[in-house]
């Protein structure tokens, strides 16, 4: 059996609150939301829609970042830009948007990658923050909700490319494929 952690309605509130927090910090400023594929897709879409209610000059782009294989971190992050011209972040104020934060390794590597390519500032925003990781390498600037140390799927999060389409987030049951 699997356990629903956040319903679609609860996620809506978490994302709306994050947008309000970001808008308060970036009022009147140009901001690049940079989503990490593939897990960010529903979160980034909802976050940008909420941000459209505020005076933030928004643009959106993506990077592919991969560290997990199955249910475990490989310990290495592979970053693949979609655009071969990686000057897209030069002199921009960037917020990196990811679905979930565990050790922070993915976020740390991506933020360093962007700084090396001339971003004016780089912050991080994650929907979920796991607890219990013993080797946390940084702290996120914006985080939606804190969750227990379990493997979760739905709302963009996958297990071997399944479950991303669920409108809610659940803990993957032990016997589920």
Our finding on whether 39 is near Mg ion (CB under 5 A) is yes
The nearest distance, CB 39 to Mg ion, in angstroms, is 5
- For ligand 5GP, the binding residues (CB under 6 A) are 39, 67-68, 73, 98-106, 151-153, 157-159
151 binds, among ligand 5GP, Mg ion, none (CB under 5 to 8 A by kind): ligand 5GP
Instruction: Say whether 67 sits in a helix, a strand or coil.
Output: strand
CA distance 77 to 105: 7
Cα 158 to chain center, whole Å? Answer: 13
Give the active site residue among 61, 85, 102, 158. Answer: 102
CA end-to-end distance (rounded Å), the chain: 12
Check if 99 is active-site.
Answer: no
CA distance 117 to 111: 10
Closest to Mg ion by CB, 35 vs 39, is 39
Peptide bond into 38 cis (omega under 30): yes
The nearest distance, CB 53 to ligand 5GP, in angstroms, is 27
Task: Give the binding site for Mg ion (CB under 5 A).
Answer: 39
Residues taking part in catalysis: 102
């Amino acid at each position: 059996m699997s356990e629903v952690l956040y319903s679609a309605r609860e996620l809506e509130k978490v994302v709306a609150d994050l947008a309000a927090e970001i808008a308060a910090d970036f009022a009147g400023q140009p901001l690049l939301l940079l989503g990490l594929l593939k897990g960010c897709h529903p979160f980034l879409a909802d976050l940008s829609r909420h941000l459209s209610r505020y005076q933030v000059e928004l643009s959106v782009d993506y990077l592919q970042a991969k560290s997990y294989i199955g249910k475990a971190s490989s310990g290495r992050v592979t970053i693949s830009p979609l655009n071969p011209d990686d000057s897209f972040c030069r002199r921009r104020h960037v917020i990196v948007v990811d679905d979930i934060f565990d050790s922070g390794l993915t976020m740390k590597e991506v933020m360093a990658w962007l700084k090396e390519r001339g971003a004016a500032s780089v912050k991080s925003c994650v929907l979920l923050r796991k607890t219990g990781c013993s080797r946390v390498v940084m702290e996120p600037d914006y985080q939606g909700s804190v969750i227990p140390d379990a493997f979760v799927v739905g709302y963009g999060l996958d297990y071997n490319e399944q479950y991303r389409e669920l409108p809610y987030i659940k803990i993957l049951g032990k016997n589920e494929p």
